[in-house]
Amino acid sequence: MIRNLRSILARPRTVTPLAEAQQNLPRPLDPVYAVGDVHGRADLLERALDLIDAHVGRVGARNPQVVFVGDYIDHGPDSAAVLARVRELAEELPDNVTGLMGNHERMLLDFLADPVTRGPRWLRTGAHDTLDSYGLHSSQLLPGAAPDALRATAEGLRAKMGAGMLDWLANLPLSWSSGNLWAVHAAADPQHPMDHQSPRVLLWGHPEFETRPRADGLWVVHGHTPMDTPVTEDGRIGIDTGAWETGTLTTVAILPDGHVEFLYT
C-alpha cells in the first residue's frame, strides 16, 4: 500500500494486545497504523514505512489507514526530507494516508507569519535543525536575534519551502477518526466531545488528559509527550518515544477487532 503495494513489518520488538477481558476496545473501521513524532529523522521514517508494509502483508490488512500524528520537524537532522516524504505519501494516497499537524509545525507557521514576535519561541524548541535542513545556516540566529535577522530568515525559509509545501502544511487537519478511535497530536479534553476540542488542546495538551478517563468509550491515539515505552490505558494510546533522540520511532497497529500491536524501528 505504501511502497507499490508491498506489505510491511519486520519483526516488532514487542507485541501488546489489549487485555481480552477489557470490554471497551479501540475498534477502527479499517486497520490503522498511527506513527509517532518523527522530528526530523528521515531514516527512522523509512524504517517505519517498511514495518507497516510488512505488517499489512502479514495480517492481510485491507484498506489500511496510515496516520502521522505530527511533529515532523525540529530536533533531528532531516526535517525538510521528512516533510517532503509525508506530503508525498498523503498526496499520492489521499484515501489511505493522513498527516496531522503538530505543535512544531504550528510554531513554524507562526514564525513565518510573525517572525519577530513568534520567532524566539520556535528558536528555543528545535528551529535551528529545521532551518539547517533547508540550507539556512542558523548558528548565529539566537532567540534574541535582531528583528531584521528574523525577518530575513523567515523570507529565506518561505522561499526554500515553496508555496505548495506551505499551503499543504497550513491545511493539515488537527484530528482524524475511524470508528471509536481518534488520532490527535497532543491530547484531548476528556470533558468535551471530540468534535468540540480546541485547537490549542489538540496541539499542546490538556492537564486532565492523562489522569481523567473519557466517559464516552472513545480511544485517543497521540504523540507529543515523550515516554520510555508506549502507553495503552484508560482510552489513551501514547506513541511518542522520543525518536529523534532514542532512535525508536513507534507505530501502533490497531485492527478492527481491537487488537493493538506496537512496531518499533
CA 7: distance to chain centroid?
21
Which residues partner with 68 through β-bridges?
A: 35, 99
Collapse the DSSP code of 25 into the 3-class scheme (helix H, G, I; strand E, B; otherwise coil) and give the result.
coil
Provide the pLDDT for residue 145.
81
Provide the pLDDT for residue 10.
37
Tell me what the mean pLDDT of segment 213-237 comes to: 95
Q: What is the pLDDT of residues 208-220, one digit of tens each?
A: 999 999 999 999 9
Helix H segments across the chain? 42-59, 79-92, 103-113, 115-123, 127-133, 147-170, 199-204, 243-246
Question: Is the confidence at residue 74, as pLDDT, over 90?
Answer: yes
232, amino acid identity:
T
Nearest CA among 46, 2, 21, 30 for reference residue 265: 46
The residue written with cell numbers 506513541 in the block is: 239
Classify residue 231 as exposed, middle or buried by CB count within 10 Å of its CB (0-12, 13-18, 19+).
middle
Contact 47, 200 (CB under 8 A): no
Cβ neighbours around 103 below 10 Å, total: 22
Domains annotated on the chain, with CATH: 1-102+173-265 (3.60.21.10), 105-171 (no CATH)
Q: What is the pLDDT of residues 53-63, one digit of tens each?
A: 999 999 999 99
Nearest CA among 244, 188, 192 for reference residue 221: 188
Provide the pLDDT for residue 141.
77
- Sign, CA dihedral 255-209-195-191, equals positive
Provide the pLDDT for residue 2.
52
Question: Is the confidence at residue 20, as pLDDT, over 70?
Answer: no
Percent of the chain with pLDDT over 70: 90
Q: Which three cell numbers stand for residue 16?
A: 501488546
Question: How many Å apart are CA 104 and CA 107, to the nearest integer?
Answer: 5
Listed in sequence order, the residues at least 6 apart from 168 whose beta carbon sits closer than 8 Å to its beta carbon are: 87, 90, 91
- Considering the entire predicted model, what is its pTM? 0.90
Q: Which three cell numbers stand for residue 198?
A: 480546541
Question: How many Å apart are CA 85 and CA 83, to the nearest integer?
Answer: 5
Q: What is the pLDDT of residues 133-192, one digit of tens each?
A: 999 977 767 667 889 999 999 999 999 999 999 999 999 999 999 999 999 999 999 999
Tell me what the mean pLDDT of segment 84-92 comes to: 98
Provide the pLDDT for residue 144.
73
Nearest CA among 67, 19, 41 for reference residue 241: 41
Tell me what the mean pLDDT of segment 183-204 comes to: 97
Nearest CA among 15, 52, 69, 67 for reference residue 232: 15
Contact 159, 173 (CB under 8 A): no
Q: What is the pLDDT of residues 236-264, one digit of tens each?
A: 999 999 999 999 999 999 999 999 999 99
Collapse the DSSP code of 241 into the 3-class scheme (helix H, G, I; strand E, B; otherwise coil) and give the result.
coil
The per-residue pLDDT of the chain, averaged, comes to 91
Contact 72, 84 (CB under 8 A): no
